């Protein structure tokens, strides 16, 4: 069987790491026709928009895409292309497995967590009002009238929608993932003690969904600040975490830190009609074009893609090859060496070569 996959190289280090992932996925023998599409800075320069419609059309058609990181200007410029893509395709579940591989430097000995983050609402919904604008003043007036609370006139306002619909489907996704992957426990993470209505609703829905899985998967909940401390102190106690968007974003970086940092953390954004695979890390502009950064996160995102396609054997072989190269510690990038200045560190493409060589053994 042959697949068609949309490949979006991305900005900064994106092209280097996505090429490494593409080569490794090809080396498994799974037949893929790659359809390259550009988004981000290159697309902005060429088409006047960082997210041309043809990129979304390609993902809609192929239903599977793999993407390098894309720059998001801070506080100004275009809206996050990553967020726009997730919204446009309704890729509501962000899946980020954080697993320790032997040979990766970390302070922990046992971590095998899966972060399931809601991707479409919460403070990420993009509903914001700038300070000083007429609409903002109107919004403040309206909020004061409806809630009785007072809001400073020089405020900017952000809206946090949390719905039953989105909460139900993400918690269900987390439980279905747990069942399918023989996981024992799902922990819902929230701040319902303070945000009683929004996070309170998320927790209420999570408890209701959990009832339906009672006989198969254990359920518990944690307040987000406590969860951060628990993860740092005893990550081995946790299994699958399900969170609203913003906490999910922050905790997935924290969990990436537990297993060795951004260079090793893969991810996927999954909806009912398409799936987009990408590393947790960003475009690391200072390393762009240097053939220096670790391709592991992107290659493991390729492993997630193969699993999603049902190519379990290829996924297992590729993961095993990555794991073997990292465990040997010879043909690995600077960040995986005990000393970051180790002159024996190899480049991005050489690490991919070593993984491909292992695959072929």
Angle CA 189–194–195, to nearest 5: 75
Is 253 annotated in the active site?
A: no
Q: Work out how close the CB of 81 gets to ligand NAD at its nearest, in angstroms, rounded to a whole number.
A: 7
- Decide if residue 72 touches ligand NAD (CB under 6 A): yes
Closest residue to ligand NAD: CB criterion: 282
Which of these is catalytic: 176, 225, 272, 313?
225
Beta strands 157-158 and 93-99 are: unpaired
Among 20, 55, 70, 201, binds ligand NAD (CB under 6 A): 70
- The owner of tokens 């080396």 is 27
Q: Which is nearer to ligand NAD, 187 or 283 (CB)?
A: 283
Q: Which of 203, 297, 354, 355 forms a contact with ligand NAD (CB under 6 A)?
A: 297
Q: Which of 11, 199, 249, 331 is catalytic?
A: 249
Q: Of 22, 67, 99, 191, which one is the catalytic site residue?
A: 191
For residue 241, report the phi and psi dihedrals to the nearest 5 degrees.
Answer: -110, 135
- One of 263, 266, 271, 347 touching ligand NAD (CB under 6 A): 263
Cβ atoms within 10 Å of 182's Cβ, excluding its own: 8
For the bound state, the minimum distance from the C-beta of residue 16 to ligand NAD, rounded and expressed in Å, comes to 9
Options 255, 293, 318, 356; binder of ligand NAD; rule CB under 6 A: 293
Is 282 a binding residue for ligand NAD by CB under 6 A? The answer is yes
Question: Is 349 an interacting residue with respect to ligand NAD (CB under 6 A)?
Answer: no
Judged on CB neighbours under 10 Å (0-12, 13-18, 19+), 150 is exposed
By CB under 6 A, name the one of 192, 227, 284, 321 that touches ligand NAD.
284
Scored b (16 or more CB within 10 A) or e, 127-146 reads eebeeeeeebeebbeebeee
* Count of Cβ atoms closer than 10 Å to residue 189 Cβ: 27
Q: How far apart are CA 111 and CA 63, in angstroms?
A: 31
Count interface residues toward ligand NAD (CB under 6 A). Answer: 18
Active site residue 225: yes
Selected from 82, 119, 187, 269, the binder of ligand NAD by CB under 6 A is 82
Using CB under 6 A, which of 278, 311, 331, 353 touches ligand NAD? 278
Closer by beta carbon to ligand NAD, 88 or else 223: 88
Task: Specify the 3-state DSSP secondary structure of 5.
Answer: strand
In sequence order, the 6+-apart residues with CB closer than 8 A to the CB of 121 are 161, 162, 163, 166, 244, 245
Decide: is 96 part of the binding site for ligand NAD (CB under 6 A): no
| Segment (H or E) for 114 | strand 112-118
Kindly tell me which of 244 and 282 has the beta carbon lying closer to ligand NAD. 282
199 is catalytic: no
Residue 113 phi, psi (nearest 5): -110, 155
In whole angstroms, what is the distance from residue 337 CA to residue 296 CA?
14
Tell me which residues touch ligand NAD (CB under 6 A): 17, 69-72, 82, 262-263, 278, 281-284, 286, 293-294, 297, 335
Q: Residues with catalytic annotation?
A: 124, 191, 225, 249
């Amino acid at each position: 069987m042959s697949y068609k996959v949309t490949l979006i190289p991305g900005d900064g280090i994106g092209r280097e790491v996505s090429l490494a992932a593409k080569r490794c996925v090809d080396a498994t023998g799974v037949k893929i026709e790659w359809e390259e599409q550009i988004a981000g800075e290159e697309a902005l320069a060429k088409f006047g928009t960082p997210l041309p419609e043809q990129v979304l059309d390609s993902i809609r058609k192929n239903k599977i895409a793999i993407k390098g990181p894309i720059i998001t200007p801070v506080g100004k410029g275009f809206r996050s292309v990553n967020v726009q893509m997730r919204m446009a395709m309704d890729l509501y579940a962000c899946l980020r497995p954080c697993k320790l591989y032997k040979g990766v430097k970390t302070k922990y000995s046992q971590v095998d967590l899966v972060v399931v983050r809601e991707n479409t609402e919460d403070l990420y919904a993009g509903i914001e009002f700038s300070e000083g604008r007429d609409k903002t003043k109107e919004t403040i007036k309206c909020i004061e009238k409806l809630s009785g609370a007072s809001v400073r006139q020089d405020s900017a306002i952000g809206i946090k929608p949390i719905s039953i619909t989105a909460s139900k489907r993400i918690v269900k996704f987390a439980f279905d993932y747990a069942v399918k992957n023989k996981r024992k426990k799902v922990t819902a993470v929230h701040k319902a003690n303070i945000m009683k209505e929004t996070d309170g609703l998320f927790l209420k829905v999570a408890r209701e969904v959990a009832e339906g899985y009672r006989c198969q998967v254990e359920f518990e909940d944690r307040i987000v600040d406590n969860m951060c401390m628990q993860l740092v102190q005893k990550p081995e106690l946790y299994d699958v975490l399900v969170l609203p968007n913003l906490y999910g974003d922050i905790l997935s970086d924290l969990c990436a830190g537990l297993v060795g940092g951004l260079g090793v953390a893969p991810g996927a954004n999954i909806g009912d009609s398409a799936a987009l695979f990408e590393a947790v890390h960003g475009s690391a502009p200072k390393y762009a074009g240097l053939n220096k950064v670790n391709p592991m996160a992107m290659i493991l995102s390729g492993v997630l893609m193969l699993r999603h396609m049902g190519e379990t054997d290829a996924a297992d072989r590729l993961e095993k090859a990555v794991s073997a190269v990292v465990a040997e510690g010879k043909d690995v990038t600077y960040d995986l060496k005990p000393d970051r200045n180790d002159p024996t560190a190899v480049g991005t493409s050489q690490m991919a070569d070593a993984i491909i060589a292992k695959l072929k053994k």
